[in-house]
Amino acid sequence: MSESYTIVTGAGGSIGQAITRTLAHKGCNVIMACRNIAKDSPLCDRFNNECNGKVRIMQLDLSSLDSVARFAQDIHREDIKIDTLINNAGVMLKHYQTTQQGVEMTVGVNFVGTYLLTRLLVPTIRQGGHITFTTSLTRYIGKVDHDFFNLNTENYGRFKAYSRSKLATTLLTAHLAQELAPQGIHVNACDPGVVDTGMIHMDAWFDPLADRLFRPIISTPTQGANSSIQASASSISGHIFEQKRHYAIASKWRNHPHWQWLLNETNRIVAPWL
Ligand SMILES: NC(=O)c1ccc[n+]([C@@H]2O[C@H](COP(=O)([O-])OP(=O)(O)OC[C@H]3O[C@@H](n4cnc5c(N)ncnc54)[C@H](OP(=O)(O)O)[C@@H]3O)[C@@H](O)[C@H]2O)c1
């Protein structure tokens, strides 16, 4: 018999663990989609011991489109039905790297790999189900234009790459919210705020200063996970969920002048795996 699951990508990360624990405590069945099974298996065992929900772990590396396709094939082969896909995994990298397809790694993991995963899993998501993407405040400084994929060793900056990946994710959320409405699938983004995880430490001289400055507004991973949990249970679509409020994605992003271009280019990159 096919069972219903919530998939959490990056479930072994700080916010991902908090999302998984909260859902499993509520009795949900959760699939932890993790890059490093050896590292995250003990967590999966612990959640199974602590919680009412059934938790399992499956391998997923979003920087490899082969791995993304394998993950989706396994879901289809086992006839697993999905209640909710929580696209939580993400990176912000200090140095320039590329994926196997030659895309800059931050954009490749946060946007391209996540896009392919979502496309491949849509047919397994039940009517009334949810897809949640993870955006960030940096979407306000992100740029989506014809240079989107043109990052290289010369012009790379971690905020430049990260912010464009998060703006693109926001545009994708708005697009899929409309596209999947007839199928009754709710699509939203969550913005966890500034959360005390490895991602906000810059390995730089100003870390202690930033720590003091931002300490009053920094949330715990459990607080940050709330935005994702709320987005994944909502009966609306096309909204951004923060910890304490939600609002419709702004029309400048719903009608972004370069969205169609970005969608076409991304479809071209992932076409061999679709
Ligand atoms: N922390 C913040 O202040 C903040 C603010 C706004 C948005 N966010 C977003 O929240 C999400 C969770 O971040 P976090 O703060 O919890 O950071 P984190 O602790 O570094 O967790 C990131 C997760 O993503 C996984 N991941 C990285 N590369 C991957 C890949 N190629 N394939 C599959 N999984 C991969 C990591 O796996 P490993 O454990 O194997 O490395 C980890 O589980 C991210 O999307 C981030 O952009 C965070």
What are the pLDDT digits (tens) for 170-187?
999 999 999 999 999 999
CATH number for the domain harbouring residue 161: 3.40.50.720
Q: Which atom of ligand 1 is nearest to the CA of 166?
A: 47
Instruction: Determine the Cα–Cα distance for residues 196 and 181; give it in Å rounded to an integer.
Output: 34
Structural domain that includes position 53: 4-273
Q: Report pLDDT digits (tens) over 11-54.
A: 999 999 999 999 999 999 999 999 999 999 999 999 999 987 79
Q: Which atom of ligand 1 is nearest to the CA of 62?
A: 32
Q: Report pLDDT digits (tens) over 198-212.
A: 877 666 666 666 666
Block residue for tokens 């696209």: 87
Ligand 1 residue neighbourhood (C-beta within 6 Å): 9-10, 12-16, 35-36, 60-63, 88-91, 109, 134, 136, 192, 194-195, 197-200
- The number of domains in the chain is 1
Quote the percentage of the chain above a pLDDT of 90. 88
Instruction: Determine the Cα–Cα distance for residues 225 and 219; give it in Å rounded to an integer.
Output: 10
**Among 116, 260, 131, residue whose Cα is nearest residue 183:** 131
Q: How far is the CA of 136 from the centre of ligand 1 (A)?
A: 12
